[in-house]
Amino acid sequence: MTPPRPIGILTSVSAVPSSARSSSASSQASAAALPFGRAHAYPDGVTVTVSPPTPVEPGEWAAGHAPGHVALQVTVTVANRSGGLLDLSMAHVAADGAEAVYDSANGLTADLPASVPAHGSASGRYTFSLPARSARRLTVSAQPDLIAYDEATWGGPAA
């Protein structure tokens, strides 16, 4: 048997069984945004929760924030009840119509750690900049791993 040809470079590969993926029915259900604060549970025991957004004030040197925009911060919490180490090196968090803000000097951005031990949890703070006219509602999507887990979406009024 010939080995498969490489098609690109992966930075990491998770050993999460295909049973960790949500079924197609639950994938369709997750297309409707969960309210902030509600957990999205995956079949393998991993859960993700996104907190309600709160307004924050980025510093003068913050990357991704434009004058006149509103900065909103959420906390993403991943709980690992899967029984094994959960690799978060390919976790993804984004907000519709928003730019990610990086402002470590003011503690506004603290990504999730690289992994979560079995029966542990971890949190990361994510800040997004939106035009003031769009800042009434926020929609955030998150995945513990881009390959092994389906995306879940949260939405609701911004603070």
pLDDT in tens, 72-117: 999 999 999 998 999 999 999 999 999 999 998 888 877 899 999 9
Is residue 22 a part of any domain in this protein?
no
Is residue 155 a part of any domain in this protein?
no
Provide the domain count of the chain.
1
What's the pLDDT score for residue 31? 55
Is residue 9 a part of any domain in this protein?
no
Prediction pTM value: 0.79
Is residue 119 a part of any domain in this protein?
yes
For residue 8, name the pLDDT band (cuts at 50, 70, 90).
very low
- Looking up residue 60, the CATH number of its domain turns out to be 2.60.40.1240
What's the pLDDT score for residue 51? 98
For residue 14, name the pLDDT band (cuts at 50, 70, 90).
very low
**In 10 A of CB 29, how many CB atoms?**
11
Distance of CA 159 to the CA centre of its chain: 19
Is residue 10 a part of any domain in this protein?
no
Spell 93-112 as b/e; 16+ CB within 10 A means b: bebeebbebbbeeeebbeeb
SS3 letters across 5-42:
CCCCCCCCCCCCCHHHCCCHHHHHHHCCCEECCCEEEC
What's the pLDDT score for residue 70? 95
What's the pLDDT score for residue 76? 98
Is residue 63 a part of any domain in this protein?
yes
Is residue 11 a part of any domain in this protein?
no
Range of the structural domain that residue 145 is part of: 32-149
Is residue 38 a part of any domain in this protein?
yes
